[in-house]
Amino acid sequence: MLNFENRDPTSESKYQIHEKKLIKNVLVELERLLIYANIPYPVYFAFEDDDIDAVLADVKRNDASGQPATATTGSYKLVVSGPEPKRIASPTITNIQGWLPGLKADGDLNQLPTIAIVASYDTFGTAPALSVGSDSNGSGIVALLEIARLFSLLYSNPKTRGRYNLLFGLTSGGPYNYNGTHKWLRSFDQRLRESIDYAICLNSIGSWDNKLWIHVSKPPENAFIKQIFEGFSTVAEELGIEVGLKHKKINISNPRVAWEHEQFSRLRVTAATLTELSAPPELLESTGGLSDSRHFVNEDAIVRSIKLVAESIARHVYGYQGKNIQIFADDTSLAVNAPYIRSWLDILSQTPRVAPFLSKNDPFVMALKKELQAHTHEVNVQHEVLDEMFTIYDLTKAKLNIYQVASVTFDLLLLLVLGSYLITLFTFLVITTRGLDDLISLFRRPPSRKVKAV
Amino acid sequence: MTLFHFFNCAILTFGPHAVYYSATPLSEYDTLGTSVKAALVYLGTALVKLVCLATFLKVSENDSFDPYQELLHALIGFIDVAGLYFALTQLTHRNISQNHKFQAVGLGWAFADSVLHRLAPLWVGSRGLEFTWDYILQGLEANANLVFSISLAALGSLMWLRKNKPKTLIPIIYACAGIVATMPSITSYLRRGLGWHFPKVVGFELFTSLMMAFISLQLFSACQRPSS
């Protein structure tokens, strides 16, 4: 059923796109069912191939005919070998932050204002080893890295360095009410927190057609929100993108945090989330599970999102709001690098990133840190313990062996057949070599003893 | 496929040997020593064959039928016949009639062959969970092999131990002996050259073994008549 050939995305017909959407919807439904159902037996996911197809066809055929399984048809035994899953005691989450300092004028003692760009990098799904989250939030990670790269180019030269600090944050614990972001912000120095002008959180920007949403917690009439939204709208119009504003009040007593910017808003920092989703996702929804594979992500959408964000931020930093200028124009040294995006997206689509299974020195986390180090001045890694929301057990991958077995009745029958064969052979040989009398004499007891007893 | 299946295949492979020994007069005359000696001779022959094969045969990558290699294989197979000759003629047996001698030698020969070639795969393979028909077919093959060995021993004893044979039958005896001796090459040709599947090959072996047994029985009784 899940058969993805390597189709060229630009030449897809409408039917193929529709088919993809159907498959995606089915997977999303399936995942939601599995997450919330109480299943008393383990559920395994495997990739389809010829052998599994043959087994499935066999079992279906047998079921349909209603016959009991014989030696050669239908009876299969599934065996998983491996250790008993153990509970993970204190799962760690790792936040990575990169700091690009702005240009401080000589004699200026005040703290420069900061703009933060944040994306959460971990995923969650019913099958953790398959939760690669290409869109949620692979697209966000890739966009953040590219924006960091572009601004590092600008900030490398003091002549083009802006008067804003840039803070890049790759947070973990996203599916668990953005627990990582919460802990990251709590670790901030008061002055740093107060210097943040605004924060842009990137979430799922990889599979949209022409509309993006900016979700905020402060009311739209707020001056800061108005400024941010206008900046984004102007750039969006130039790029041919539609941007909508959505306001959701935060409820401090409700532990559910649907958007990352809400963690900032709870500490009174102006923040917004840029995403293709129009409604806030429920708990454990849109967390990069089974259905979120590479095929559903459009690089072009990510490129356009990067242009939108980078351009809007740059205009704010350099004071070019409302002016018709393209800083990150195509075919320049500051153009958005599509191959870079593609290669990072491909890697992310092959790396499952469920936070409790990422150790402190997980190679992928280290790779993200190294990449951010290449683009920023200073990188800090923060290890925290994930708050106890769920009990998590290890063992994400196992080897499943499917054997075709014959029932015990088959072996019993075989024993019967063999027994009779050997007995026939025995009698045949006795008759032909020793004569029939010998055969009978084997069974008759000597009669003399009986007579004596009487 | 569990120990039960292993037990079943084992009695199919080795049962007939025990049954043959106990059913025929062999057990009455206590010819176990002869059989054991024949088995040891088989082991020695197998070792010699192994060395020759390793020295002279090339390892082929694909499973196709190479006539030259198969010819070499058949020639080395004649070492089998030499071994049988040694077992029949050179070993000192207790005073048992010719009739029983060839049966005991054939039985020991076939038993050693089954143990050497079939016990290890049976032990390792048939105890697993996956079910295949292979081990049952292997057992049937062992049965056919038993019949072949006894026929070959009969023909061998006719050739080397019996001095007064009717002239007309001599070429037939040698021809039948030749066929039985080259049986392994024939089966490997069928499997590789013609591409027959294992069940078909085993069926062919069973059929030919019964045929050859019948023919050798006729020959043996025909040769027996003048002397009796």
Asked if pLDDT for residue A247 goes beyond 90, the answer is yes
CB-CB contact of B108 with B152 (8 Å): no
Instruction: Give the lowest-confidence range in A216-230, A262-276, B194-208.
Output: B194-208
Cα(A406)–Cα(B135) distance, integer angstroms: 13
Could you tell me the two tokens for A126? 């019913």
Test A408 with B4 for CB contact under 8 angstroms: yes
Residue A421 parent element (H or E): helix A408-433
pLDDT digits (tens, 9 = 90+) for A279-315: 999 888 889 888 888 888 989 999 999 999 999 999 9
Q: How confident is the model at residue A7 (pLDDT cuts 50, 70, 90)?
A: very low
- Nearest-CA residue of chain B relative to A405? B131
Q: What is the mean predicted confidence (pLDDT) over A61-90? A: 76
pLDDT for the residue A72: 54
Choose the weakest-confidence range: A1-15, A49-63, A95-109, A139-153. Answer: A1-15
Model pLDDT, residue A1: 37
Confidence (pLDDT) at B142: 92
- pLDDT score for B151: 87
Tell me if A206 sits within 8 A of A298, measured CB to CB. yes
Helix orientation angle between A338-348 and A140-156, rounded to the nearest 10 degrees:
140
B139 min Cα distance to partner chain A (Å): 11
Name the pLDDT band for A117 (thresholds 50, 70, 90).
Answer: very high
- Top-confidence residue, B30 or A411: A411
Residues A307/A313/A319/A323 CA torsion (nearest 10 deg): 30
What are chain A's domains?
A: 92-385 (3.40.630.10), 411-443 (no CATH)
Q: How far is A252 from chain B (nearest CA, A)?
A: 58
Cβ–Cβ of A426/B2 closer than 8 Å?
no
Does B5 contact A at CB distance below 8 Å? yes
Closest chain A residue to B100, measured at CA: A433
Residue of B nearest to A427 (CA): B23
Residues in A touching B24 (Cβ below 8 Å): 429-430, 433-434
Q: Which amino acid is at A381?
A: V
Name the B residues in 23-62 with CB < 8 Å from any A CB: 23-25
The band of A80, judged by pLDDT with boundaries at 50, 70 and 90, is: confident
Whether the pLDDT of residue A383 is over 80: the answer is yes
Residue owning tokens 């058969």: A3
Residue B213 structure tokens: 């047994």
For range A224-230, the mean pLDDT:
91
Which residues are CB-contacts of A137 (< 8 A; sequence separation ≥ 6)?
A119, A120, A121, A123, A174, A202, A203, A204, A288
Mean pLDDT, chain A, rounded, equals: 86
The pLDDT score that the predictor gives to residue A164 is 93
CA distance, residue B52 to nearest chain A CA (Å): 37
Tell me what the mean pLDDT of segment A18-30 comes to.
86
CA distance B22 to chain A (A): 8
pTM score, two decimals? 0.75
pLDDT at A4: 47
Which pLDDT value is given to residue A143?
95
* pLDDT recorded at residue B63: 60
Distance, in Å, from the CA atom of A131 to the CA atom of A128, rounded to the nearest integer, reads 5
Quote the ipTM score: 0.84
Give the model's pLDDT for residue A199: 95
> Cis ω on the peptide bond leading into residue A137 (within 30° of 0)?
yes
Residue bearing tokens 């039928």: B65
Residue A115 burial by CB count (10 A; 0-12/13-18/19+): exposed, middle or buried?
buried
Residue A259: pLDDT band with limits 50, 70, 90: very high
Identify the segments of chain B with pLDDT beneath 50. Answer: 227-228
